[in-house]
Amino acid sequence: MTTSKKAEAIDNGVNTDHLLGARGEIEEEPAKALFTWRATCEWRYGTHAVTKISDFFGFEAEQPRNKTFAVDTDHPMLFAAEDNGATPIEIVLVGLAGCLTGGLAAIAQHRGIQLRSVTSHLEGTQDLQGVLGVDEDVRNGFGGIRVSYEIDADASREDLEALVAQAQKRSAVFDILVNPTNVQIKLAAPAQSDGG
């Protein structure tokens, strides 16, 4: 069986042809690759906030979604908060897990590996002396993150290790975590200005 025929029989639910098509379009016109992702966050009460996600920009056009995703964040009851959502630092683990797993399925499809189940366990350590301002030498964020994948698939352990490695290599959120990003945070200009 050729790789091509084998790949045809594989169904991980990823449209590899479409992805390769998009890749080809971008190779011809790199401006199409410039995306802007957006979110709007509203404070509710206490440490509870709701962040909504809908439209984005890409392929040189606004890309309207026909839906809005809303994710609650809060602090746990241990900190006398109401635990109305995962803590924001836990949400970062969601981003990493979702990115690696989605990528892994796409790469498996491309490589002709039929997945049956993919489960990952993530752990991130944090020394709260940072965020609480107890010790200025302790960082606010994660001390480190460990991710462990359990994969049930028609493939050798070597192929599955290569699959995990490639998912890491192509992951946006992995890159965001291991490399610095410029983040600019400001108070918006007043809605009405007296001085014109």
- Report, in Å, the least distance between residue 113 CB and a second copy: 13
Q: Give the separation between CA 45 and CA 43, rounded to whole angstroms.
A: 6
**7 lies in the site for a second copy, by CB under 8 A:** no
DSSP state of 134: S
Site for a second copy in 103-142 (CB under 8 A): 103-106, 115, 117-135, 138-142
Q: Give the separation between CA 152 and CA 18, rounded to whole angstroms.
A: 26
Torsion of CA 34, 19, 106, 13, to 10 degrees: 130
Site for a second copy in 66-95 (CB under 8 A): 67, 69, 71-83, 85-95
For 50-107, give the DSSP string.
EEEE--EEETTEEE--SS-EEEEE---GGGT----SB-HHHHHHHHHHHHHHHHHHHH
Q: How many residues does this entry show for the chain?
A: 196
- Report, in Å, the least distance between residue 131 CB and a second copy: 5
Binding mask 162-181 vs a second copy (x if CB under 8 A, - otherwise)?
Answer: --x--xx-xxxxxxxxxxxx
**29 lies in the site for a second copy, by CB under 8 A:** no
- Report, in Å, the least distance between residue 138 CB and a second copy: 8
Q: Give the separation between CA 38 and CA 120, rounded to whole angstroms.
A: 27
By C-beta, is 8 or 135 nearer to a second copy?
Answer: 135
- Report, in Å, the least distance between residue 59 CB and a second copy: 7
Which of 137, 188, 194, 195 is in the footprint of a second copy by CB under 8 A? 188
Which of 5, 9, 146, 196 is in the footprint of a second copy by CB under 8 A? 146
**8 lies in the site for a second copy, by CB under 8 A:** no
Q: What 3-state class would DSSP assign to 156?
A: coil
By C-beta, is 1 or 82 nearer to a second copy?
Answer: 82
Cross-strand pairs, 150: 119
By C-beta, is 1 or 9 nearer to a second copy?
Answer: 9
- Report, in Å, the least distance between residue 154 CB and a second copy: 15
Structure token pair of residue 93: 């683990």
